[in-house]
Amino acid sequence: MLIAGFPAGSWAANCYVAATGPGTECVVVDPGQDAAAGIADIVREHRLKPVAVLLTHGHIDHMWSVTPVAGAYDATAWIHPSDRHLLADPMAGISRDTAAMLLGGRYEFTEPDDVAELADGQRLELAGLDVVVDHTPGHTAGSVTFRTPYRSTGSGRAGEVAEVMFSGDLLFAGSIGRTDLPGGDHATMLETLRGKVLTLPDDVAVLPGHGEQTSIGHERATNPFLLDLAAGTAAGTVGRVTRGL
């Protein structure tokens, strides 16, 4: 399996390109600000053809380039219906500080020509990948994660990673997504973590929306938010530092 990623734009939101291998179709996950050039480099290097753009949620740092990228490759953009309105009106989902950063710029956002909506538990067959969609609200109402089996093409030991999860701004190394933006809800986030994260096996690799790669096993053992949930003391997590736009 081929997965390439890079931090895009001012917010360093991770953009990923995933395929079964070189010379095949691929999917793009979360094309953020100024991501088009980086995607084009990966596509050219590995001789790939993007057929879908998957959005973990509708925040501007993760979908800034969705329309030009989807248009350039004639690809379908996939998003949960609860966040679809943010494609054309991303300002509705951002903080006051983020809005202030964008003042004075001329930005126009429109939906891609081809948009498809995601549902909880949906299975997508895209670019030869079997992708499972989990609706994971909390950071936004329409946040989702994407999971796909990992098939190693290198010399790593079999069984090291069973599955890869593109977690967006749900789960990070050592933290979770913030819930103080429009559409965010802390209680919902905790329920999502309890029902959609803690139930996963340890050998799921987590590719988050910001920062470095981690795993469910590592986060289960070290992430203070998950530790509090497992101990039944999740109320204490409200004052801890969360991440995201």
Q: Whole-angstrom Cα distance, residue 39 to residue 48? A: 10
Predicted confidence (pLDDT) at residue 62 exceeds the cutoff of 60:
yes
- Partnered with residue 19 across adjacent β-strands are 2, 26
Which pLDDT score, from 0 to 100, does residue 240 have? 55
Packing angle, helices 36-46 and 66-73, rounded to 10: 30
Nearby residues of 191 by Cβ (< 8 Å), 6 or more positions away: 138
Predicted confidence (pLDDT) at residue 6 exceeds the cutoff of 50:
yes
Confidence of residue 153 (pLDDT cuts 50, 70, 90): low
Q: Whole-angstrom Cα distance, residue 95 to residue 60? A: 11
Cβ atoms of 90 and 119 closer than 8 Å? no
Nearby residues of 145 by Cβ (< 8 Å), 6 or more positions away: 56, 133, 134, 136, 165, 166, 167, 168, 170, 196
Which pLDDT score, from 0 to 100, does residue 101 have? 64
Q: Which amino acid is at 185?
A: D
Confidence of residue 155 (pLDDT cuts 50, 70, 90): very low
Tokens encoding 27? 């999917």
Predicted confidence (pLDDT) at residue 65 exceeds the cutoff of 70:
yes
Q: Which is more confident, 159 or 192? A: 192
Closest CA to 143 of 164, 167, 111: 167
Q: What is the pTM of this model?
A: 0.91
- Structural domains in the chain plus CATH codes: 2-239 (3.60.15.10)
